[in-house]
Amino acid sequence: PDAYERGLLAEITRRFESSSLQLVGAKMIVPTRKLARAHYALTIGDADGDDDASAAATEARLSANAAFLSAGPVVALAFEGARAVLSALAIAGDADPRD
């Protein structure tokens, strides 16, 4: 939501396209907390850790990320190309900027 709010869509798209990826789809949505939580659960995991401290830390991280992602409109972009996932990770980095 922060990139959309700051008007960075064109710059973000340019960076991906300049790495030989082709934009094949785009969709603007306002994610629900449920959708945002499911999205981050794929990369963070669920809150069923091995111990209470681990589960609590995971739950706090999931909740914070879900709150952020659902705070406003986002534009989901779909790109394709050779080594698309590796290229996207090189451009955007990890799902959590703290990592």
Pairing label, strands 22-29, 74-80: antiparallel
| Residue 95: per-residue pLDDT | 59
Q: How far is the C-alpha of 85 from the C-alpha of 31, rounded, in Å? A: 22
Residue 47 has pLDDT above 70, yes or no: no
Distance, in Å, from the CA atom of 36 to the CA atom of 49, rounded to the nearest integer, reads: 20
Is residue 55 very low, low, confident or very high in pLDDT (cuts 50, 70, 90)?
confident
Q: Phi and psi of 98, rounded to 5°?
A: -75, -15
Gap between the Cα atoms of 22 and 41, Å rounded: 27
